Chains A and B, each alone.
Chain A
């Protein structure tokens, strides 16, 4: 009976979709394909805010998720047939890359920014370090087409998928009718990515009142965090999703202008997205260009490493005119203990997202 419900639900979802005509076919054709493609259960953790991604408009299904996963790990999305999404986004590092500071693309080309972790994407307003993608569905356009990343065209990717032995069938199974298209490819990738919810860290369990307790050090670290970090790293996801200049000195090799590249506004010069700190212990190196290798380096930077510029966030200006946050060495140790409570081992070991 449950499967019947799914079947009807899927039919309803399609009935008003833009692909008119398909609906008729599906309605009259008792295809077993739709019966075996149940909707996946996307549940917002009780300590999380509402999802920003419109699950209703692109509800993850079993087949859509599997297709998205295959695409995510498929080098065909790159010009060299090797550099897949998963090449730089490795699950055991919360979908980041460790061995490079900035990301490496096809032909050994080197990018200018550090691969961001992929988790809780269904709760983010914008994507990439500068917010150049305003929807999860459009984000993959950037790495696919960037010369220093996958250096491919969407047209070529679609042609390759069409010529593939498996993809045409997988697209039909996932979306209920024949057709490999850009829209479907991006929606399948999103179906895979929105399911990547990391909400089972010690921190989460404590927030939800499950049977865990923080050590004294973790509790002390949390208190420091709440007074000195949480104005930007706000809320359960530890980000207010704003763009800020945190005083990182400009690296002349990249001369990265940050969010100004997206908005053209000089007031956005050197501003980057405040990152979520979930799984921060395992997503090194840190900062938009990966210049800092350890959490200790990050905290030392925040107390002693800032460079002034017109767009520097005012929170980093001390009354005496110097720059930085006041965090004692003892507090740094406590903070790091707290930050490690944000590591979610269930997420990085979750077989649903694993390449093999």
Chain B
């Protein structure tokens, strides 16, 4: 059991101070700006909730929201099962584990602004490896004009970039399972599916929840990688939430971009809240089982 003592605050105080500087103060500034019409930063007029009204009423916001939601759902549906599957496939033996993990994690080390470039290069029908292979089959990817294919490229790119993180998290979850569990399952004659369902999956719950949270939020607010593929096109089909915000900031629309930031932060809070709820449900389930 944990000690009940408020001296715990002393230990977390440095972290609170640091996050106040880099997180809380900027956040309060953004909230403040979102209520003003700002031409230059020294000259501003209080306009209350007008920016919020504009954004909430605009079709553009809701269609970006819907696109981001669909994109994140697809990302989770593809990357989480794939990540779990790959983690389960990693062979035993120190050498192979090290080699496989090191190879699998390489995409995580590429600078983010290079990722769209690498993928566009790869898909180039004349010079790219994948483009050439597809050209010999007579296929071509048209990421400029076809919305579905732009989506496919961005999804493939995101899957390439981030599934490794899911694999790392899941694999670390799997290694916390004692071998005696597997031996017991073997004696009971459990098949691979039953082992997965009743031993591996329950042990993966916590890391999976973390993987889902990180993947959901990062894909929901995808910016650096998605924009260079087709600048939000064709005709706005890949304008995601963060791309809209990026455009506002580039145009120096301080007020609207601040209001947009606050709305996005409220989304973040909601997701974080759902996450902690899910975690406490898992914890009470576990306590109920062990007691």
Are A and B part of the same complex?
Answer: no
A contacts, CB < 8 Å to B = none
B contacts, CB < 8 Å to A = none
